[in-house]
Amino acid sequence: MRHHEEENEEETMKVKVRFFAQFGELLGTDIIVEPASGTVLSGLIKEIAQRNKDGYNAIFDEKDTFREFVILMRNGKRVDTIDAVTTNVVDDDEIAVFPPVAGG
Amino acid sequence: MITIQHDDVDIGKLITDAKQRGMGAIVVFDGIVRDDDIREMELEAYQEVALKELEQIAADATKKYNLFSVDIIHRIGRLKVSENILIIIVGAGHRKEAYEGSRYIIETIKAGVPIWKKELRKDGDRWVPGEHPQGTGKFN
């Protein structure tokens, strides 16, 4: 029964991942995913980015780590890419992934 | 007025509306699309976050430079050469604060607010690289 409940929790978790600028062109702009409980930020982004080779290579280097210019946000707050490997995503999170800004 | 929008604004009206008793200077910054051999420019924003950050920048500038008023209008969408991209109107008691406040606002926007520009060029499109490689503006 407990196992069943856990499964239900996993099924209901929804996270929105938003890619901007060139990342959005390569990977899509607003992606809704249902990650398993315990999924970390970096793993989630990697999984989505693998849908498009150019998109993946734009964000990750040959060692599968974030390129140094990549900026991450979780619910509107910046997250250091180093911390993305230990940051769990939770239900209703909005994750943003983007290159250096160029407004103004 | 702090806003991110497609439409242009009437700068003259904004100046008129900004004026208030005790104000001695208004500085207007108008960033426009430069003709770098482009057809048009397309601007994209992470709108909800960018707007909050613009509001925070305006609040910080007001406090830091003792400003009377701050208006920031950042446009998005497709813009032609010479169209307005970013309008910053700063009112203060004296020119020094007005100039410094305006400069602080534009530089802080460029450092970190999540907005991007793509040049639509005759020889292909190009995303404009940011001046601050790691988005050094910290607001959170």
**Average pLDDT over chain B, rounded to whole?**
93
Inform me whether the pLDDT recorded for A8 exceeds 90: no
Q: How far is CA B73 from CA A16, A91, B20, B30, B31, in A?
A: 28, 34, 20, 10, 10
Task: List the single range of B38-47, B75-84, B105-114, B119-128 with lowest mean pLDDT.
Answer: B119-128
- B23 pLDDT higher than 80: yes
Q: How confident is the model at residue A12 (pLDDT cuts 50, 70, 90)?
A: confident
Q: With CB atoms and an 8 Å threshold, state whether A104 touches B114.
A: no
Q: Inform me whether the C-beta atom of residue B132 falls under 8 Å from chain A C-beta atoms.
A: yes
ipTM over 0.90: no
pLDDT value at residue A11: 58
Sign of CA dihedral B34, B37, B43, B44: negative
| pLDDT at residue B137, rounded to an integer | 35
What counts of helices (H) and strands (E) characterise chain A?
4, 5
State the average pLDDT over residues B60-88: 98
Residues 6+ apart with CB under 8 A from B27: B88, B89, B90, B92, B95, B98, B99, B101, B102
Among left, alpha and beta (phi > 0; psi -120 to 50; other), residue B34 is beta
How far is Cα of residue A56 from the mean position of the Cα atoms in its chain?
12
How far does the CA of residue A14 sit from the closest CA of chain B (Å)?
20
pLDDT of A81 > 50? The answer is: yes
Cα separation, B8 vs B32, in Å, equals 11
Which residues in chain B touch residue A103, judged by CB atoms under 8 angstroms apart? Answer: 43, 45, 50, 74, 86, 109-110, 113-117
Q: Residue B119 pLDDT > 50, yes or no?
A: yes
CB-CB neighbors (< 8 A) of B133 in chain A: 68-69, 100
pLDDT at B123: 87
pLDDT value at position B122?
85
Residues of B in contact with A78 (CB under 8 A): 135, 138-140
pLDDT at A7 over 60: no
Question: Which pLDDT band holds residue B133 (cuts at 50, 70, 90)?
Answer: low
